[in-house]
Structure 1
Amino acid sequence: MTIKVGDPIPQTNFVKATPDGPQPIDSESFFKGRKVALFSVPGAFTPTCSARHLPGFVDKADQIKAKGVDEIACTAVNDAFVLNAWSESAGAQGKVTMLADGNGDFAKAVGLRMDASKYGMGQRGQRFSMLVDDGIVKELNVEEPGAFDVSSADHMIAQL
């Protein structure tokens, strides 16, 4: 079942790259007591994700945070090392927190997986964004396959 506005974020774990190596991040703790703008991309270093999705949130990070968002986070079904390298190459460090969903557990738990096997990518997370306030989904923007519109930073800003 797909998550919807008003639902709590399900209990899963992400992995975040740190100077001490990959560290598990409990979803309940991560979202508790704060407002988070989360977006999901099908994969780091992929065309739309690298040219438009992540750069939009990097470029608009100050605007988003000025509207009361405590943290901007990106998730993808990639490992923490890949997401960290992508963050460094995109100038996202300090602006967007990368949350690796390496096994796709979060994408599965929120009901937003997609099968990209025909592209050699296996099971991935769909392209979406959500505003989460104290662990509760307040806005949910799921893209149609191949589209990039409602999950953008500009769309998120309009919702804040």
Structure 2
Amino acid sequence: MPLILFLGNSLYAEDRIGLLVGEILKGRLEAEGFEVEILERIGYSLIDYIAGKDSVMIVDSIIGEYGEVKLIEDLKSFAAFSPKSPHYAGLPEAIELIKALNLPLPERILVLGIGVRDPYSIGEIPPELNARVGDIAEKVHREIRNVFN
């Protein structure tokens, strides 16, 4: 059963998008057979969640256009996105630590990035992004279904 990790930080205005989308989709995805976690964690703290899983998809904000949903399939691409999202910092290192500890590494680790303009500002989610949360959730759901079916 694939694990879908929705990441975000509720203190940051736009970075909470992963949490909001996760709350919308959790029940539906679980009913479809996915394991779902909604987390405010980064880097090494993800090891307990991803080690030993067959497939993992991480859903989180990346800098881009509001409503854009981008699939990142290449682990090498994670490093390229590090400055674009506060949650990718440490993910490549966490994967290396899993290998070094001889823990089982998932066969597939994917990132589904949700476009935001500023993942670092504290405050309320901008109305323009908030108005799109439902549509973004539907895009994310379609992408998850396309990847795992």
* TM class, shorter-length: 0.3 to 0.5
Structure holding more helix per residue? 2
What is the TM-score normalised by the length of structure 2?
A: 0.38
